[in-house]
């Protein structure tokens, strides 16, 4: 048998191994040197050194407090019926049960109304939220005092002013803004508003000039025939900045639900130049079929 002293891979004699185990408790251990203790402790700090260290600790603590106060934080403990609010300089990030996040800007109050695989609903009483959601259409909704924003797979900002005026701006995907009787579909790059005593406005491009936004408003809110005619035949402002094809089509598609017979006919004729209406859509019906109109809008969007 090989001696394990020279070949550690060998087991060695059992009696010798037992003796080594017994004697190992008496192995000599050298005391720690004073210079080793000083090296581990570091150099002594004078008054100035202690002040520097204290200041550094204070700054670090302030930075930690600022991080947790000002930087958005994920909150996974949001329960049904629970309200979350932010202060005048505070942001907050709330988790949406696996489908995305809801960021609260300062002076915002929200309440969780429902949370299930098929419905997550939030109430926005005041302030501004930024939603980023990846879920099937109509799973995530935000109720405001005058409307409901229904997520159709998107990212958007929703603001409720002090007078309950609701403002929606979509940056990705699309959102439906509904009040129980009226609905608008807002695509990425568009926005809309709704006041307490009026339906949601026909969406307009976020980069539209004030003149073009006013043109859409006049055709929508005031039912102005001249504004509609310009929107159909020459959707431009005095600087020759014009609505793009889908921007014009989205406005006319919404107006088709709201205008009188003559206005509806003019809007539908213009839309038909781009994409013919679905066969199942009766354009002469008293009320246009929402599913058939949505099918037409999808075709216009992909055209």
Task: Write the pLDDT tens digit of every residue in 261-283.
Answer: 999 999 999 999 999 999 999 99
What stretch of H or E contains 155?
strand 155-160
Q: Which domains are seen in the chain, by residue range? A: 70-201 (2.60.120.1440), 208-303 (no CATH)
Q: Most distant CA pair in the chain: distance in Å?
A: 110
Q: What is each CA distance from 84 to 93, 113, 191, 249, in whole angstroms?
A: 10, 12, 26, 39
Q: What is the pLDDT along the chain (303 residues), one digit of tens a residue?
A: 455 555 555 556 666 566 666 555 555 554 544 544 444 444 454 544 444 445 444 444 444 334 333 334 444 578 899 999 999 999 999 999 889 999 999 999 999 999 999 999 999 999 999 999 999 999 999 999 999 999 998 899 999 998 899 999 999 999 999 998 899 999 999 999 999 989 999 999 999 999 999 999 999 999 999 999 999 999 999 999 999 999 999 999 999 999 999 999 999 999 999 999 999 999 999 999 999 999 999 999 998
- C-alpha atoms less than 13 angstroms from C-alpha of 218 in its C-beta half-sphere: 15
- Give the per-residue pLDDT at 255: 97
- Give the per-residue pLDDT at 24: 57
Neighbouring residues of 246: CB distance < 8 A, sequence distance ≥ 6: 187, 300, 301, 303
Please check whether residue 184 is in contact with residue 201, taking contact to mean a CB–CB distance below 8 angstroms: yes
Please check whether residue 173 is in contact with residue 153, taking contact to mean a CB–CB distance below 8 angstroms: yes
- The overall average pLDDT reported for the chain is 84
Q: Terminal CA-to-CA distance of the chain, rounded, Å?
A: 87
Q: How far apart are CA 72 and CA 104, in angstroms?
A: 8
Report residue 17 as tokens.
């191994």
Please check whether residue 282 is in contact with residue 296, taking contact to mean a CB–CB distance below 8 angstroms: no
- Give the per-residue pLDDT at 214: 97
Please check whether residue 155 is in contact with residue 191, taking contact to mean a CB–CB distance below 8 angstroms: no
Neighbouring residues of 11: CB distance < 8 A, sequence distance ≥ 6: 1, 4, 17
DSSP 88-122: TT--EEEE-TTSEEEEEPSS-EEEEEEESSS-EEE
Neighbouring residues of 244: CB distance < 8 A, sequence distance ≥ 6: 205
Report residue 200 as tokens.
């949601």
Report residue 20 as tokens.
């080594």
- Give the per-residue pLDDT at 143: 98
Please list the alpha-helical segments (H only) found in the chain.
14-23, 34-41, 47-70, 210-220, 225-233, 245-258, 261-274, 290-302
- Give the per-residue pLDDT at 75: 44
Q: How far apart are CA 160 and CA 195, in angstroms?
A: 10
Please check whether residue 92 is in contact with residue 124, taking contact to mean a CB–CB distance below 8 angstroms: no
């Amino acid at each position: 048998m090989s001696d394990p002293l020279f070949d550690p891979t060998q087991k060695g004699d059992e009696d010798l191994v037992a003796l080594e185990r017994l004697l190992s408790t008496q192995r000599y251990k050298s005391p720690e040197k004073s210079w080793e203790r000083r090296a581990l402790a570091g150099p002594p700090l004078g008054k100035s050194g202690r002040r520097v260290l204290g200041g550094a600790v204070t700054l670090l603590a302030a930075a930690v407090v600022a991080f947790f106060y000002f930087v958005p934080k994920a909150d996974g403990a949001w329960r049904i019926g629970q309200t979350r609010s932010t202060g005048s300089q505070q942001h907050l990030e709330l988790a949406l049960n696996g489908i995305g996040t809801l960021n609260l800007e300062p002076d915002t109050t929200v309440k969780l109304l429902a949370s299930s695989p098929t419905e997550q609903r939030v109430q926005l009483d005041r302030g501004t939220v930024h939603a980023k959601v990846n879920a099937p259409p109509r799973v995530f909704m935000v109720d405001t005092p005058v409307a409901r924003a229904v997520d159709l797979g998107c990212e958007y900002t929703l603001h409720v002013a002090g007078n309950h005026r609701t403002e929606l701006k979509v940056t990705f995907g699309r959102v439906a803004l509904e009040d129980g009787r009226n609905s608008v579909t807002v695509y990425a790059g568009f926005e809309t508003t709704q006041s307490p005593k009026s339906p949601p406005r026909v969406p307009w491009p976020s980069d539209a000039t004030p003149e073009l936004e006013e043109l859409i408003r006049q055709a929508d809110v005031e039912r102005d025939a001249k504004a509609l005619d310009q929107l159909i035949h020459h959707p431009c402002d005095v600087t020759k900045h014009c609505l793009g094809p889908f921007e014009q089509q989205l406005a006319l598609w919404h107006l088709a639900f709201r205008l009188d017979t003559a206005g509806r006919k003019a809007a539908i004729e213009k839309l038909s130049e781009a994409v013919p209406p679905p066969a199942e859509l009766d354009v002469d019906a008293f009320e246009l079929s929402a599913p058939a109109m949505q099918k037409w809008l999808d075709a216009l969007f992909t055209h």
